[in-house]
Structure 1
Amino acid sequence: MALKRAAQLGLVFLGAIGARTAALPSPLANRANSIAALTDSQVAVFKPYSYYATTGYCMPNTTITWSCGKNCDANPDFKPVASGGNGKSVQRWYVGYDPHSKEVIVSHQGTDPSQFEQILVDADIGFQNLNSTLFPGVSKDVMTHSGFSDAQEKAATEILAAVKKTMSMYGTNKVVATGHSLGAAISLLDAVYFHINLPQASVRFIGYGVPRVGNDHWADYVDAAGFPVTHVNNKQDIVPTLPYVFLGFHHPSGEIHIVDPESWLSCPGQDNNDKLCSKGAVPNLFVGVADDHAGPYDGVTMGQDTCDD
């Protein structure tokens, strides 16, 4: 019920590398001329990241000890390094190391509908430039959602320090930013932030139910950056179609649309209008299904209710 309420409130206010990575669709595949179905093995690659994304909702004292119940148990060998956020003014987050994929994992909490401050973040849909201190060299044409950008800034330097520490501790240059909903929006900004500030790193973004984060120049900038971007959208979820294109917001390339549990489709280009992709399948809020926002994503449900705190 909390997740359904979160999606409904959103409507009101918004209107490995290794074996795992080898199986993921490549950026070039996402820009192909036709929609392509993922194989069962390609779908299976996402499950560890799906659990990492929903774990972002859990309390910092459980993610730093990796004792959050089934979400943590799904990736039992994960090595937590840092966690933070208060779940109110700052979204919860954690950073650690996956020894199987040899990646640093960074995850952020999605919207908790019981926290009014988080609802205000979603509702702050004005545009702003990226912080030039955090994102040096980015054109002023690139504009992002004010609420999402402000949320990302609050923990950016602390998270970057934790990522650097984890890279050094475990001798890896691979970094994956993940999350669900608002957490995915913050993590996409993180991925760009890491790409700029960690030039030695191999960065990847895997997000779930992510709303649009910026304008057309933002979407083009993310595409041109060249690091792999994958945003997974479930069925008739309305959140990935918000804020609307007519307000100036655009997704970068890299959509995977779950048509049904047995059919995951790679949708080429930005905001693909085909009815098999999110924008075409959910042309307005009246056909959106609030419960689809939580998933399931190959059996993984996202949200606060999945944490054993």
Structure 2
Amino acid sequence: MARVLLTFFFATLFCFTSATPSHKLLGRASVKTLSSSTIHSYKPYAFYSSAAYCSPSNIKKWNCGANCKANPHFLPNITGGDGSTTRYWYVGYDPTLNTVIVSHEGASPGAMLSSLDAADSALTPLDQAYFGGISTDIKVHKNLANEHLRSAYDLFYAVANLLVQYIDERPSVTLVGHSRGAALSLLDAVMFTNSFPPLTKIKYVGYGLPRVGNQAFADYVDKYITSIDEGAGFVRINNKKDPVPINPSRALGFVHPSGEIHIQASGAWVSCPGQDNSASQCIRGTVQNDASGTKQDSYGPYDGVTMGC
């Protein structure tokens, strides 16, 4: 009941309007090189993603070295996780960007690939306790789903309370993270989109995101998140030959949503329209299998930001 009342409270106070583009139409568009201004616009989120690797005690004080100094105006609210069974996470408010930030700690590429191994890559429906009413056709990686549930309750209420606290500013909610953290934040984004009033603006910027769910999951993200801000509501940024984003395999039923940006070996950033674009400039076309990937590329740099604390 508390959850219903809290979401109802700000139901009419946040809004966005946008058309929902078809991912099939997006897939027909050409790969384009991004401008330097567009590239730099993502940099604050790279620092927020990197900061999730820092200890909760430092995050609470917002004293985590370069990652915190890059966004000195940030107001941390709550932290969690143990850095092992449950990755570190934190929530706070950025008054400059006017958005509530949610960030999860990532994992090393080796650990990430191991956890996404085919033997453990079962697809499972989302838990109705946190994704009530969402179609059971929407399925996600079982291990990621189980880990997400360990922080879902605290995250939900922390974000809802911040939206109420800063109600006059009408902030958006931006989910960020790297690697495993990117996957967990994407599940947060879907949970908020499904649970919060439909006029709440949810955005996502992830780095080195693995495939999280099936075709129905990718279509849901495209419809309710990617479509925000003229198709820029969901952005996943891949660096060079990082093998993590090509896992788990499409052969196992996993599909990426639209919104890929791929950093080329030259350092140029290109947008790759559609779901799992196979063009040679995009991650699926660049990294054919794990053996052809370079694990170190997972850490970046992303416009000068290397993931880690």
TM-score where L is the length of structure 1: 0.85
Cα distance between partner residues in 2 of 1:29 and 1:144 = 22
How far does the alpha carbon of each residue in 1:61-120 deviate from its partner, in whole angstroms, 9 at most, with x for none? 111110111111110110001111111111110000111110000000011589x8x887
In structure 1, the residue matched to 2:14 is none
1:1-309 pair list within 5 angstroms: 31=26, 33-111=29-107, 121-123=115-117, 124-171=120-167, 172-199=170-197, 200-225=199-224, 226-227=227-228, 228-260=233-265, 262-303=267-308, 307=309
Residue identity opposite 1:249 in structure 2: F
Per the alignment, in what secondary structure is the counterpart of residue 101 of structure 2?
A: strand
**8 Å CA contact 1:27, 1:229 repeated in 2:** no
In structure 2, the residue matched to 1:4 is none
How far does the alpha carbon of each residue in 1:113-139 deviate from its partner, in whole angstroms, 9 at most, with x for none? 89x8x8875453111100011111221
How far does the alpha carbon of each residue in 1:207-243 deviate from its partner, in whole angstroms, 9 at most, with x for none? 0000000111111111122441100000011000001
**8 Å CA contact 1:261, 1:298 repeated in 2:** no
Residue identity opposite 1:45 in structure 2: S
**C-alpha spacing 1:205/1:27, structure 2 compared with 1 (3 Å):** farther
**8 Å CA contact 1:90, 1:154 repeated in 2:** yes
Per the alignment, in what secondary structure is the counterpart of residue 219 of structure 1?
A: helix
**How many residues end up aligned between the 2 structures?**
277
**8 Å CA contact 1:121, 1:151 repeated in 2:** no
**C-alpha spacing 1:268/1:122, structure 2 compared with 1 (3 Å):** same
Once the two structures are TM-superposed, the CA of residue 246 in structure 1 deviates from its matched residue by 0.9
How far does the alpha carbon of each residue in 1:251-273 deviate from its partner, in whole angstroms, 9 at most, with x for none? 01000001146411110100001
Residue identity opposite 2:282 in structure 1: C
Cα distance between partner residues in 1 of 2:157 and 2:113 = 28
**8 Å CA contact 1:78, 1:98 repeated in 2:** yes
Cα distance between partner residues in 2 of 1:103 and 1:202 = 9
Once the two structures are TM-superposed, the CA of residue 60 in structure 1 deviates from its matched residue by 0.8
TM-score where L is the length of structure 2: 0.85
**8 Å CA contact 1:49, 1:178 repeated in 2:** yes
Calculate the aligned-residue CA RMSD, in Å: 2.1
Residue identity opposite 1:133 in structure 2: A
Cα distance between partner residues in 2 of 1:153 and 1:121 = 17
Cα distance between partner residues in 2 of 1:178 and 1:119 = 20
Per the alignment, in what secondary structure is the counterpart of residue 160 of structure 2?
A: helix
Cα distance between partner residues in 2 of 1:221 and 1:42 = 25
Per the alignment, in what secondary structure is the counterpart of residue 50 of structure 1?
A: helix
Residue identity opposite 2:291 in structure 1: F
Per the alignment, in what secondary structure is the counterpart of residue 286 of structure 1?
A: helix
Once the two structures are TM-superposed, the CA of residue 170 in structure 1 deviates from its matched residue by 2.1
**C-alpha spacing 1:289/1:121, structure 2 compared with 1 (3 Å):** closer
Residue identity opposite 1:90 in structure 2: T
**C-alpha spacing 1:195/1:170, structure 2 compared with 1 (3 Å):** same
Structure 2: which 5+ runs fail to align?
A: 1-18
